[in-house]
A = this chain, B = another copy of it.
Amino acid sequence: MIASDVPATPQPAAAIPPTMRALRKQTAAPGFTLERVAVPTVGPNDVLIEVRTVGLCGTDLHIYEWDRWAQRRVKPPTTIGHEFMGVVAAVGNAVKAVAVGDRVSAEGHIACGVCSLCRTGQAHICEHVEIIGVDTDGAFADYIRMPEGNVWKLDPSIPDAWAAVFDPLGNAVHTVMAADVSVKSVVITGVGSIGLMAIPVARAAGAAKVFAVDVNPQKLALASRVGADATFLATQPDLVDEIISRTGGDGADVLLEMSGSGSAINNGLAMVRNGGVAALLGIPSDEVEINLAERLIFKGLKVLGINGRRMFETWYQTQALVTSGRVDLTPIITHEMPFERYDEAFTLMKSGEAAKIVLTL
Contacts and interface: CB of A to CB of B under 8 A. Distances in A.
Contacts of A185: 320
Interface string A316-359: 11001100101000000000000000000000000000000000
Contacts of A128: 1
A112 B281 CA distance: 33
Interface string A158-181: 000000000000000100010011
By CB atoms of chain B within 10 A, which of A126, A182, A288 has the most? A182
A290 to B, nearest CB: 6
State the copy count for this chain: 4
A273 B284 CA distance: 21
Nearest to A206: B206
Contacts of A204: 183, 206, 208
A169 to B, nearest CB: 13
Interface string A130-164: 10000010000000010100000000000000000
Q: Report the contact-size class of chain A (Cβ under 8 Å from the partner).
A: 35 or more
A117 B274 contact: yes
Interface of A: 1-6, 41-46, 92-94, 96-97, 110, 112-117, 119-122, 124-128, 130, 136, 145, 147, 173, 177, 180-185, 204-209, 248, 250, 265, 273-275, 280-281, 283-285, 287-293, 296-307, 310-313, 315-317, 320-321, 324, 326
Given A117-B275, A127-B274, 9 more contacts: A1-B128, A3-B46, A4-B145, A119-B311, A125-B274, A204-B208, A205-B206, A208-B324, A287-B290
